[in-house]
Amino acid sequence: MKQNEAVFSEMSGQLFYRKIGSRYIRDKIIMEKNYIDVQKGNENMLYSNLSINESGHLCMQNQDTVELAGKYGTPLYLMDENVIRNNLRMFRSIMKHSFGNQAEVFYASKALCFKQMYRILSEENICADAVSASEIYTALHAGFDPEKILFHGSAKTRDEIQYAIRNHIGYFAVDNAEELKRISQCAVHDNITQKILIRVTPGIDPHTFEAVKTGKVDSKFGAAIETGQALQIVEEALRMPGIKVSGIHSHIGSQIFETEPYLKEADVLAEFLARVKSECGWECSILDIGGGFPVRYTEDDPSADIPKMLQETAEHMKQSFAEKNLKMPSVWIEPGRSAVAAAGITLYSVQSIKRIPGYRNYAAVDGGMTDNPRYALYRSLYTVLQADCAETEGNEPFTIAGRCCESGDKIAENIMLKDPKPDDILAVLCTGAYNYSMASNYNRVCRAPIVLIHNGIDHLCVRRETVEDIIACDL
């Protein structure tokens, strides 16, 4: 990585700088995107919110990350609440702008879920998608409006269904016929009418990594349009007591950098809904097209313009629906990763350095797959910086190894570092999504805390787990 080289992209209202940014590039982006309130930062920007101070330390919102690591301990998830809020505002404004006032944003809780997150969602007028009774429980304990919750999942238990119904959640995204029956039974028993969306699989391959493709016919999620099962479940649902079919849901995958899969999704859904209208006489009033908007983890990831993707999808969808004489439904989206990933960094302390001559070098840190399983699971790449000398160019490749008893416990490989030593602080960027939410207690490691920085002030929002927490369920 060369000094003064600006590698950038503009996404979710943020500027992405890997090294000292050029004013030309930054100003150009700001001028072109007038609907986004881009923060102007100083010259030493990495991302719009990251900078390097005079001690050479990495800063988030001008707060020294090395000092924060000292204050809260490591590993530590540090998240920029302003970035999260800006992203949510961007999604909301672009949705209303492109699809009209009925459009809604349902943040996908699975990406990052804790009580403060739901308070932020409430304040930003964002709805939530939840996948378990525990996510719903967290939301309700944060005072989140149950009517704004959409309950997802392909294997909801009877207890969860009952819990959600009794707590008056707004909508279920129904995955299969079995679940439909259970919801109907619970709703009839409680003498209510439950609103639902029906999850369909449109048969689209969005060219992303295997673990996050969900729109293909062969999927554990939803009812396939191609096999006729989707039509069948809609017909059944329309006859079921205690159920009001409000709309259709489809999510084709994650990390989708191109607009085309969303355009195809719009076409397939329009075609399907035209068929439903002619065969069942039912017209869809809500169409949820899922999440999947991309994030740039490293400079090698392509850049994507999410607002443009949504605008183009909206135009295409309106045309597709008009051609089939269908009323345009309210359109919902469910961004997860793109709302929170770039807001987060993880700070680790180096514990040991090992050089195996002729093989490789290891920098072992005090976290790893327990706080970020994504490299072990998907070989997901990350940008890693030395937080205590963030401007220094590395000159030796290192594997960043985790602390667990598992050879695959790595955070990244081939990371260029400059003479790393025990107790140095490493910062892994873009860890806001699917890190904390996928954290585990393997080796009975305590989960790391989350500190949010809002308007320059740090707030502990999730405390570090303790050994007492770890044995709390043991009898």
Least separation in angstroms between residue 12's CB and ligand LLP is 11
Binding mask 315-334 for ligand LLP (x = CB under 6 A): -------------------x
- How many CB atoms lie under 10 A from the CB of residue 301? 18
Q: Is residue 152 within the footprint of ligand LLP (CB under 6 A)?
A: yes
The tokens for 257 are: 């950098």
Backbone angles phi, psi at 122, to 5 degrees: -60, -50
Nearest C-alpha neighbor of 291 from the set 109, 102, 153, 137: 109
Site for ligand LLP in 83-142 (CB under 6 A): 108, 111, 129
Least separation in angstroms between residue 473's CB and ligand LLP is 25
Place of tokens 């585990």: 440
Please report which helix (H) or strand (E) contains residue 25, including its range: helix 23-32
Backbone angles phi, psi at 95, to 5 degrees: -65, -45
Instruction: Please check whether residue 312 is in contact with residue 83, taking contact to mean a CB–CB distance below 8 angstroms.
Output: no
Distance separating alpha carbons of residues 81 and 353, to the nearest angstrom: 34
Does 405 qualify as catalytic in the annotation? yes
Per CB under 6 A, the list member of 254, 313, 320, 383 interacting with ligand LLP is 254
Closer to ligand LLP by Cβ: residue 16 or 293? 293
Least separation in angstroms between residue 372's CB and ligand LLP is 9
Which of the following is catalytic: 280, 389, 404, 405?
Answer: 405
Least separation in angstroms between residue 440's CB and ligand LLP is 13
Site for ligand LLP in 23-82 (CB under 6 A): none
Least separation in angstroms between residue 108's CB and ligand LLP is 4
User: Helix or strand or coil: residue 172?
Assistant: strand
Q: How, if at all, do strands 286-288 and 243-249 pair? A: parallel
Q: Tell me whether residue 359 is exposed, middle or buried, using C-beta atoms within 10 angstroms of its C-beta: 0 to 12, 13 to 18, 19 or more.
A: exposed
Specify the stretch interacting with ligand LLP by CB under 6 A; choose among 27-35, 136-144, 157-165, 289-297: 289-297
Site for ligand LLP in 335-364 (CB under 6 A): 335-338
Least separation in angstroms between residue 336's CB and ligand LLP is 3
Closer to ligand LLP by Cβ: residue 71 or 220? 220
The tokens for 156 are: 């909801």
Per CB under 6 A, the list member of 21, 170, 206, 292 interacting with ligand LLP is 292
Site size for ligand LLP (CB under 6 A): 20
Specify the stretch interacting with ligand LLP by CB under 6 A; choose among 156-164, 286-294, 386-394, 464-472: 286-294
The DSSP line for 114-135 is -HHHHHHHHHTT-EEEESSHHH
Closer to ligand LLP by Cβ: residue 41 or 335? 335
Site for ligand LLP in 359-378 (CB under 6 A): 374
Alpha helices in 124-259, H assignment, sequence order: 133-141, 158-166, 177-189, 229-239
Site for ligand LLP in 204-243 (CB under 6 A): 212, 214
List of residues 6+ apart from 28 with CB closer than 8 A: none
Nearest C-alpha neighbor of 350 from the set 414, 407, 428: 428
The catalytic site residues sit at: 405
Residues that bind ligand LLP (CB under 6 A): 108, 111, 129, 152, 212, 214, 251, 254, 290-293, 334-338, 374, 434, 438
